[in-house]
Amino acid sequence: MLNPEIAEALNNQVQLEAQSSHAYLAMAVWAETSGYDGTATFFYRHAEEERVHMLKLIRFINERGSNAVVPALVAPSPAFTGLKQAFESVLEHETRVTQSINEVVDLCLKVKDYPTYNFMQWYVAEQLEEEGLARRILDRLALAGDASGALYHFDRDITTMEAEAEGPTA
Ligand code: FEO
């Protein structure tokens, strides 16, 4: 059975990952209805990924003899002024997720829960990748500015940028 403090921290993380999935889903709807089909694909895929992050936590909590809690969610913002604002919101959100993961890792060390510490390293690496990708996308958007041609190319290329960030698959 997990230390109760660890179980609570992991369940908070379940909530945050579920909320992340929800936020990406709202972004996907906004992008798709704004004519950014490539960006919508990117956000739909991320909504799925965040759900997988949530499920990994749920399974871990249950396997360690505690009870995962399926959380209530808050309705995410349904609209953005443009791609820049949407991706600024992604970076802000992912930075918050990283902070939360770091707090879980700190707690694992404090209570000497090394199996959970080990499990959380996957999330540490994932956050590094996600924050890096959001920053690269914002750099690309800064170069594009408000030029519609450049934004068209951005939307066409965004899924390729993601594949490049993940590197070659085995
Ligand atoms: Fe799973 Fe992007 O936080």
HEC string of 32-61 equals HHCCCHHHHHHHHHHHHHHHHHHHHHHHHH
The pair of three-digit structure tokens given for residue 85, joined into one six-digit string: 């604002």
Q: How far is the CA of 149 from the centre of ligand 1 (A)?
A: 31
19 close to ligand 1 (CB < 6 Angstrom): no
- pLDDT-based confidence at residue 110 (cuts at 50, 70, 90): very high
Using CA positions, which residue lies closest to atom 1 of ligand 1?
50
In the chain, the percentage of residues whose pLDDT exceeds 90 is 88
Least confident segment among 30-34, 39-43, 161-165: 161-165
Average pLDDT estimate for 81-92: 95
- pLDDT-based confidence at residue 168 (cuts at 50, 70, 90): low
Average pLDDT estimate for 117-138: 96
- pLDDT-based confidence at residue 160 (cuts at 50, 70, 90): confident
Amino acid identity at 162: E
97 close to ligand 1 (CB < 6 Angstrom): yes
The predicted-structure confidence for 119-128, as pLDDT tens digits, reads as follows: 999 999 999 9
Q: Which domains does the chain have, with CATH numbers?
A: 4-163 (1.20.1260.10)
Average pLDDT estimate for 58-71: 97
Q: How far is the CA of 95 from the centre of ligand 1 (A)?
A: 9
Nearest to 93 by CA among 63, 38, 133: 133
53 close to ligand 1 (CB < 6 Angstrom): yes
Q: How far is the CA of 43 from the centre of ligand 1 (A)?
A: 12
Q: What is the pTM of this model?
A: 0.92
Q: Which residues, including other chains, have CB under 8 Å from residue 60's CB and lie 6 or more apart?
A: 10, 116, 119
- pLDDT-based confidence at residue 170 (cuts at 50, 70, 90): very low
pLDDT at residue 165 in the model: 66
pLDDT at residue 78 in the model: 87
17 close to ligand 1 (CB < 6 Angstrom): yes
Using CA positions, which residue lies closest to atom 2 of ligand 1?
94
Which of 23 and 165 is assigned the larger pLDDT? 23
Give CA 118 to chain center in angstroms. 20
